Structures are given as C-alpha cells and as structure tokens.
Chain A
Amino acid sequence: MAGATASLNVARLASLNAPRHYEDNAATRDNPWVKYTVLGISLLFFAAFLLLPLATVFVEAFKKGWDVYLAAITEADALSAIYLTLIAAVIAVPLNLVFGVSAAWAIAKFEFRGKQLLITFIDLPFSVSPVVAGLIYVLLFGAQGWFGPWLQEHDIRILFAVPGIVLATIFVTFPFVARELIPLMQAQGKEEEEAAIVLGASGWQTFWHVTLPNIKWGLLYGVVLCNARAMGEFGAVSVVSGHIRGVTNTMPLQIEILYNEYQFAAAFAVASLLALLALVTLVLKTYIEWQAARSLRDSQQEEVS
C-alpha cells in the first residue's frame, strides 16, 4: 500500500517551504484558464482514482449495517488474520529498524570496500517482484528446497507457517528505514559525533544523545512506511503462506479469500481496516514531514548565518 520509494528528501522539503509561488512572479505567471484546467484535471483524477475507491471500501463495508461489519471483523478467521498481520509487523519492523540504523550508520560514517554494492543491494526488495521474493523462500525452505530435508528432519516448519510469513515480510520491508537514513546521515557528517567523543562520551552515549536525536524524524518516517508495507504486503506473503484459514492468513490474504467466496461485505470490512491504517499512516507521515521540515529549516538557518 505504501509506494515503492517514498523518500524524505531535502529538495522536496525545501520546495514545500518555498516562500514564493510561480504566481507571485509576472514572468512565470500563466493565464487563469491554464491554472484552472490543470487544477481541474488533477482534482478529477484524484477523485476518480483515489477518493472514489477509498470511499467505496467504506461504503461497501457498512452496506449491510454496523452489526454485520462488527461481526465480520470479529469473526474468528478475521481476528486470526489481524493477529497474524500484527505479529508479522511487530517482528519485522523492529528488526528492520535495527538493521536500517546500523546499515545507514555503517554507510554514512565508515569507509569500507563494497560500500556502493551494499547501497545497491539494499534496494533489491524494491526492484524485485514480491512474488519472486516469496519464491526465494520456497526454494530455500520448501520440501524440495536447499534446507527443506534438514528442516523436515528436525521438524521445523518455516514455509506455510508464521516464520515464513515473517521472513517474507522482513524481505520486502528491508529497505525502508535504511533508505531513509542513509542520505540523512551522510548529509549530517560526523562532526557532532566527533565532538561528543572528544568530550568523553562513549559510543553508546554518542549514539543515544547525539546521533539518534538528529535522525529521529527520518527514522520515524522510515518506520511508518515500513509498518504500512509490512501490514499490507500481499505478493510475497501469499506465496509462502499456504492460505491456511485461521492459521497462516494475513489480512490482505483474508480479504482475497473472502472476496473470492463472494462475501463482499466481510471482505470490505477487513479491507476497511487496512484502508484506515493507510489513512493513519498518511496523517503520521504528514506530521513527520512537517516536523522534519521545521528542523531542516533550523539547520539551514544555522548554515546561512
């Protein structure tokens, strides 16, 4: 549900705060009809392709009344799907948070061989189709896969079970935090950390009191996007899940099953939860962007004066 590469980049934030509009300047001012045509086209598209479907989700969900809606989302299989989705996100997001921070730290603050390669490979989950990502795990852990026989011997279930779903989720949400932090930390350099260390701070104190406060908005932004994707992922999870009702179905998978069984009200009820999550994500994202822009403005002021 989250876009592939949304990035909190500096240029975009700066343009958000640009004090002047094109309109303020006679040289770049267009005829009013140009303005309203362009505006009209974008609003029309927005309404037709974004607003209408979103509204449909909620309309369909509540079509048969509040009781049916409640029943649909409190039904055992639906609850299990919600539970599994939360589990996958709760495991995947913190892991990717730790990974993202350490990768960004390594890339921004240290020099080592293969740095560029690492940066490139972090993007792999963005460039590869989620279905392929799922298949990788099938090839690794499936009955005919590399580790399949060994896993069977030891009676460990990864595929068609919760661990597989978590692994697939980690894979597809891998780049969000790292991608967000790398440019940020590279731009900030290491002078503040050096200052902290000269003043006697330990590595951990430096990270906690100096580095983390400087990257907190970027980090939160990455986490919010990572979470949205973790909960909404369909393709990769679909391949490794096995679609066992009440056991290995996440919310997106549950929605598909309900829909295929013509239980539209129930399908849309669960879908409305995901849509709600999307809206919450957008609000959080906007708030974080606003905060980050504010701290960026402060630091720019710092450079100018």
Chain B
Amino acid sequence: MSIQVQNIRKQFGNFVALNDVTLDFPTGELVALLGPSGCGKTTLLRIIAGLEQADSGNVILEGNDASGTHVRDREVGFVFQHYALFRHMTVFDNIAFGLRVKPRHERPSETIIRKKVTELLKLVQLDWLADRFPSQLSGGQRQRIALARALAVEPRVLLLDEPFGALDAKVRKELRRWLRRLHDELHITSIFVTHDQEEALEVADRVVLMNHGSVEQIGAPEEVWSAPKTPFVYSFLGSVNLFHGRSAPGEVQVGGQSLGHAESIIPDGVEVIAFARPHELDIETDLSQSSGIRARITRIQAFGLTARVELERTDIHGTLHHHEVELTLERLITLQLRAGVDVLLVPSRLKVFESPAPAQVTPANADHYIASGI
C-alpha cells in the first residue's frame, strides 16, 4: 500500500515538531526516516499510524484520506522501540492477540489462529519460544516477537519506531540484516525511524533525512551519501570537516588563507560554509604553498587500511577547530608525519554552501564526528 502525507503540521506547545511535511512512500519500499532526536521523525510515524493527530494536513493510505480513520481501522503494524509486549501473556498469546480481539464475525477459529501464530514464529525463527513470557527473552528476541505480533493481523504497512534502538551493537547489526531479508520476502510497505545513519543507509531502499521538523533530502542511500543537498545532510551523514569563510572566484577565503574549489553556482563575496570528507582532504608539508589551511597534527591513528590524522587549526585562537584527514598508509610514510608538526590542509574536493542562518549549522554539531561504516 502506498502512503502519502501532505502538508503535515504538528506543534507541541511552542515546539514545532513537524513543519509542513509532504512525503510520498511508494508501495513495497522500505524507507528510513533519519534524523537527530527531536527532528520530528517519530511524531511523523505516529501520525501515519494514527497514534497522534496532526494539527493540519492529510495522511493518505492507498489513495484514500485516512485522517479521520481510527488507528484500529488503519490496518497498520506498529513496532515500538521498547517492544511493548504484553508482559503477562506468553509469546504465543502476544502474537495471537491481534487475531483474538477481532469482532466475532471476522475472528478466525482457534485452529487457524494456532496455525497462523506457528507460521509467524517460524518466520521470525523463534518457534521454540511459544510458551515463554516476554521477561524470559533477550532484547533481540523480544523485538522479533513484537514484529511477528504486528504482522499477525496482516497489516498493509509496517511502521517501526527505532526498532533496534534499545539493543546492543552486535544484535542491532544482526537484526537489521534480518529485517532487510524479511522485507525482501514480504514486500510490505515499511517505514522505520532511526537516528543511526549507518542503519538507515544499510537497510533502507530510500532515506528521508529530517531536521527541525522539515525534510532535508530524500533519496537512495548512495545518493544522499554521495550528493548531500544541504549542509545538514552533509554534516549528519558521516564524518566531515567544516570551514567557515567567504567566497571568491574559484576559492573560499578562510581567515587569511584560501581553499580551492570547482563549484560555480556560488556568487562571490558571500558567507559560505565548505565541507570536505576526511578522505577528500590531503596534507601538504610544504608550508609555502598558496592554497590550503594551516593546522597542527594532534594525533595519528595508523591501524587498518588507512590512517586517521587528527589536526587542530592554528590560525584561530580561542575556539578549537578540529579536523580529521584520512590518508593511505603509504602517504603517511611518504610525508613522515608526526604529532605536533604544522602542515597545510588541501582539499581534493570541496562542497560549498551559502551560509544559512547561523543557528542551523554551528561548529559544535559540524565538528561532531560521526563514526561511519561506509
């Protein structure tokens, strides 16, 4: 079933959770709503489910306006972050719940329910746990049971609210691969909310990036990763180096220094912010070069295939500007880098944006390096 949301607005007191969000989720896709906490992603999911009412705007399920439809009639499956399993019921009764509460004329017989629950338990590969209680299961098992329970009523869409958020890293990784396989089997239109970019990029067909109640970018994982459209997306996905400066023809003036770039759409003389990924920065030891920014090496981590060099800008006093460069090990050896040495940072690729309102991208959140698995 396709889902559309149109001009959704939601406010909690003075806090705008969703600001005029319009989105289209095509049938059969697995879509990730990705963003930092408080960006409105969970609120949007709950509005689609009907657990929350939008102040204005419409939710359209398969072409029909569902804004007035009660949550129990929307035929959605919802998986909660903390599982919300019924703690006094066995695993079997949990999964059977949705079938047993159906009105008498729709309710399947107990034999059919038994068959259906057994099938679902097999699907989530936990058929030996039918008689256990939720408290006797591990977190990963609970979340799979929660998923089986949501699937029991044959929902037309599956909505997952931070489904792996409460699990430890290893289980999380296993489960998201499993979810992807499950989706490939069932092809049910699914939306899941996450703040973990790695999870979103790895699992989803499409990623919707949200910030401050608005959609920043929509696209396939490769697309949002390689061509971020906004400064927010650039800094949210993966590690990034940030430079504030003023644009000049073919370069960005940062303090008294300059960084070359190849973008042509930026007018001259405006405030800009420039981004470079750690692997898009190179280090030059020859300080007499005209292009590049001076920085001092603070730490070198040379393990794995590449080396990570951490640096601090030396031209600005007071505030600390951290940078991170990823080099091949050969390059590291050729340059003979050590901590404490002054070098030049030269970008091989620089993405430049006109500076938005200062509140949106502050050095604090842009300098926050997010470990990236990609």
Residues of chain A touching chain B, judged by Cβ–Cβ distance below 8 Å, are 191-192, 194-202, 205, 209-210, 213-214, 295, 298-299, 301-302, 305
Contacts and interface: CB of A to CB of B under 8 A. Distances in A.
Nearest to B77: A198
Contacts of B98: 199-201
B108 to A, nearest CB: 13
Contacts of A213: 86, 88
24 contacts: A191-B84, A194-B84, A195-B78, A195-B84, A195-B149, A196-B101, A197-B72, A198-B49, A198-B72, A198-B77, A199-B150, A200-B72, A200-B73, A201-B72, A201-B97, A201-B101, A202-B101, A213-B86, A214-B87, A295-B87, A298-B87, A298-B133, A299-B135, A305-B139
Closest 6 CB pairs of A and B: A199-B98, A191-B84, A195-B84, A298-B135, A201-B101, A213-B88
A273 to B, nearest CB: 36
Contact of B84 (A192, A200, A201, A205): A192
Contacts of A210: 86
Interface string B61-101: 00000000001110011101010111110000000011001
A191 B101 contact: no
A191 B97 contact: no
Contacts of B51: 194, 197-198
Contacts of B78: 194-195, 198
Interface string B136-160: 0011000000100110110000000
Nearest to A298: B135
A102 to B, nearest CB: 21
Nearest to B106: A200
B171 to A, nearest CB: 11
A178 B87 CA distance: 23
Nearest to B97: A199
A295 B88 CA distance: 9
Given A192-B86, A199-B98, 18 more contacts: A191-B84, A192-B87, A194-B78, A195-B85, A197-B51, A197-B71, A198-B71, A198-B76, A199-B72, A199-B150, A199-B152, A199-B153, A200-B102, A202-B72, A210-B86, A213-B88, A298-B133, A298-B135
SS class of chain B's interface: helix, strand, loop or mixed? mixed
Contacts of A301: 135
Contacts of B101: 196, 199-202, 205, 209
Nearest to A299: B87
Contacts of B153: 199-200
Nearest to A297: B135
B19 to A, nearest CB: 23
A40 B230 CA distance: 74
Nearest to A210: B86
A295 B87 CA distance: 9
B231 interface: no
Contacts of A197: 51, 71-72
A196 B77 contact: no
A194 B72 CA distance: 10
A299 B77 CA distance: 24
Most chain A beta carbons < 10 A, residue from B86, B138, B152: B86
A140 to B, nearest CB: 41
A165 to B, nearest CB: 38
Contact of A195 (B73, B80, B88, B102): B80
A299 B80 CA distance: 17
Contacts of A191: 80, 82, 84
Contacts of B152: 199
Most chain A beta carbons < 10 A, residue from B77, B133, B135: B135
B134 interface: yes
Contacts of A295: 87-88
Most chain A beta carbons < 10 A, residue from B84, B85, B138: B84
Nearest to A188: B87
A176 B80 CA distance: 33
Nearest to B159: A198
A192 B138 CA distance: 18
Nearest to B142: A302
Given A305-B138, A305-B139, A196 B97 contact: yes
A298 B135 CA distance: 6
A31 to B, nearest CB: 42
